[in-house]
Amino acid sequence: MAKVKGTIVVDIERCKGCGLCPPACPTNVISLAKEVNAKGFHYAYMANPDECTGCVNCALVCPDAVITVYRKKN
Amino acid sequence: MAEQTVNKDIAKEENLVFKKTSVLTDKVMHYCPGCGHGTAHRLIAEVIEEMNIQSECIGITPVGCSVLMYNYLDVDMQEAAHGRAPALATAVKRLMPEKFVFTYQGDGDLAAIGTAETIHAANRGENITIFFINNGIYGMTGGQMAPTTLPNMKSSTSPYGRDVKMMGNPLKMTELVAQLPGTYYVTRQAVHTPKDVRKAKKAIRKAFENQKLERGLSLVEIVSNCNSGWKMTPLQANEWMVENMFPFYPMGDLKVDGEMVK
């Protein structure tokens, strides 16, 4: 078990589904949803939430600042 | 409403490590998905928040995709005529020397129509900060060839690639400006990976802090993508940028604290 656990909250309606965050994620947590938001973009979501370490990489590359990151030490 | 897979035990205020800075407004940016402008805006906003200079900051917006930047940054901003942002910034800074004045310009603005203003502002050693977003084309008007377009690079006005014999050579504005004695800090950064974003943020912070020293102009070039103009997906555009733009526009500092690097 990872000592540090994290989670992200995506502002779905502002996400443009550019796909920059999945490759930035070192633990392959994020992917783009099959569903779309009101604008028709495949928004980012945590497909694999248990692996998230809250490293902030996804939020750093996000051009639209839609990702909020939380981190907790166990 | 779409479902999110958020871990509610962790998503609490005390565990917050990153959220959108309050210097960015809540308006959705009009940029294409994956555009580097959004990241560059966010980094500038974060630095303004960290330095706590929101009320002392005056930005000059260019003409180009980022013409509506004043909608997204919650600081005082003034729109300049095409390419004239450094001239306007000069005036603002001379009238209000205690303010932090920055310009944010694309390559069509800074390196084409605004070449004279940029070079002379740098040569006079105006105590301002210039952010130069270089994506190699005129993104806003439909991907036409710009002075910074690479040799053999396709654009909507050079569909067979830029022929250097006919259309001239690309202009390396940052190298040009670094030669001038009036500049204090000149660097080239990118914002496509987390590592580069962290480096770029440090460079932006240094460029703002240099205004307190009053030693001259700071210029931060950010090599960015234009996936719509390049006709690629955001990820392909970033790969193309690494393969083609970076060899011609190498990353790193060109001039630090008034001394040329190397």
Query: Could you give the percent of chain A with pLDDT greater than 90?
Result: 81
Q: Count Cβ atoms within 10 A of the Cβ of residue B70 and give its class: 0-12 exposed, 13-18 middle, 19 or more buried.
A: middle
Q: How confident is the model at residue A2 (pLDDT cuts 50, 70, 90)?
A: low
B15 chain-A contacts, CB cut-off 8 A: 54, 70-72
Query: Could you give the percent of chain B with pLDDT greater than 90?
Result: 92
| Per-domain boundaries in chain B | 28-260
pLDDT in tens, B28-54: 999 999 999 999 999 999 999 999 999
Domains of chain A: 4-73 (3.30.70.20)
pLDDT in tens, B162-193: 999 999 999 999 999 999 999 999 999 999 99
Q: State the pLDDT at residue A73.
A: 84
* Rounded CA separation B33/A61 (Å): 12
pLDDT over 70 at A1, yes or no: no
* Rounded CA separation B227/B32 (Å): 8
Q: Rounded mean pLDDT of B10-14?
A: 85
Q: Is A20 on the interface with B (CB under 8 A)?
A: yes
What integer best gives the mean pLDDT of chain B? Answer: 93
Q: What's the full length of chain A, in residues?
A: 74
Q: State the pLDDT at residue B13.
A: 85
Q: Rounded mean pLDDT of B2-27?
A: 85
Of the residues B17, B47, B226, the best mutation for testing chain A's interface (the one with the most A CB atoms within 10 Å of its CB) is: B17
Of the residues B10, B24, B25, B31, the best mutation for testing chain A's interface (the one with the most A CB atoms within 10 Å of its CB) is: B10
Q: State the pLDDT at residue B7.
A: 79
Q: Which of B20, B193, B198 sits opposite A24 (nearest CB)?
A: B193
Question: Any idea which fold B28-260 has?
Answer: Rossmann fold (3.40.50)
A8 within 8 A of A30, measured Cβ to Cβ: yes
Q: State the pLDDT at residue B12.
A: 85
Q: Is A25 on the interface with B (CB under 8 A)?
A: no
